Amino acid sequence: MNIIRVANYEEMSIEAGKLIAEKVRANPSMTLGLATGSTPQGFYQYLVKDHITNGTTYKNIKSINLDEYIGLPASDPNSYHYFMQKNLFDHVDISSKNTHIPNGAATDLDEECVRYENLIKEVGGIDLQILGIGQNSHIGFNEPGTSFHSRTHVVALAKNTLEANARFFAKLEDVPTHALTMGIASILDSKEIFLLASGTAKAKAVAQLFTEGISEDFPASALKQHQKVTIIADEDALKYI
Ligand code: F6R
């Protein structure tokens, strides 16, 4: 795993944004695997600014998001559909037919998991997957204990994840308890992976990546089985490294 050490959140966002924009320019019909949450917001801002200033185009880019809450319609401001529209899709020239997010409002969730996994195959796989990391080492919403062979599936969110995500909701009870997520095996199929981490809250999970072996107790440790992973992290997230 290659590590890019940066000073803070802003530098992490600029570094990730620059590298991603370069890849988009080099391969304008690539498939990007995208994440939500606080970590990617800064580099999405970078990509939007770069699109406006430098004209980097997303006309033929395809995107596959990692996950979505179950039970929230796309119009709900806390859904990841809404997040992606507001943070990226509304501001670049990506075509809505090329953007994909699991449908957490599907009536048949098992069927939705199969559809999503097939979709990833149909687009030819993910060229570059961007990941954040949970305080408990989750990637996507693959909580500790998830099989490294898992594909897109329904997950019950861990207590720690519900608490961490409660900041976006009026109260803890409003956080959906379940989500759809790409599995660890789906993530590992990506040709290249960027893992982003910022802040002391992530320091333990990042340190475990280096101090612990490969174990399903630490979902992010699965990344050690991948040939092309770059960690872009700030001093706070790397404080034990
Ligand atoms: C989001 C996702 C999650 C987050 C992780 C960190 O699509 O898959 O794994 O990346 O929970 O969240 P933040 O960035 O809010 O700290």
Q: pLDDT truncated to tens, each residue of the chain (241 aa)?
A: 999 999 999 999 999 999 999 999 999 999 999 999 999 999 999 999 999 999 999 999 999 999 999 999 999 999 999 999 999 999 999 999 999 999 999 999 999 999 999 999 999 999 999 999 999 999 999 999 999 999 999 999 999 999 999 999 999 999 999 999 999 999 999 999 999 999 999 999 999 999 999 999 999 999 999 999 999 999 999 999 9
Query: Using a 6 Å cutoff on CB, does residue 195 contact ligand 1?
Result: no
**Degrees to nearest 5, angle at CA 63 with 59 and 68:** 140
Decide: helix, strand or coil at residue 139.
strand
Query: Using a 6 Å cutoff on CB, does residue 132 contact ligand 1?
Result: yes
What are residue 5's DSSP bridge partners?
A: 233
Look at the domain 2-211 and name its fold.
Rossmann fold (3.40.50)
Query: Using a 6 Å cutoff on CB, does residue 37 contact ligand 1?
Result: yes
Query: Using a 6 Å cutoff on CB, does residue 34 contact ligand 1?
Result: no
**Residue 51: φ, ψ to 5°:** -60, -45
Tokens standing for residue 14 = 């600029």
Report the catalytic residues: 67, 136, 138, 143
Q: Where are the domains of the chain?
A: 2-211
Distance 37 CA to ligand 1 centre (A): 5
Residue 168 has a pLDDT of 92
Ligand 1: which of 138, 169, 206 to mutate, most ligand atoms within 8 Å of CB? 138
Strands 99-100 and 62-65, by their bridges, are: parallel
**Helix extents (H) in the chain:** 9-26, 41-54, 80-87, 109-122, 159-165, 184-188, 203-211
Contact criterion met (CB below 8 Å) for 77 and 51: no
Decide: helix, strand or coil at residue 67.
strand
Count the residues in the chain.
241
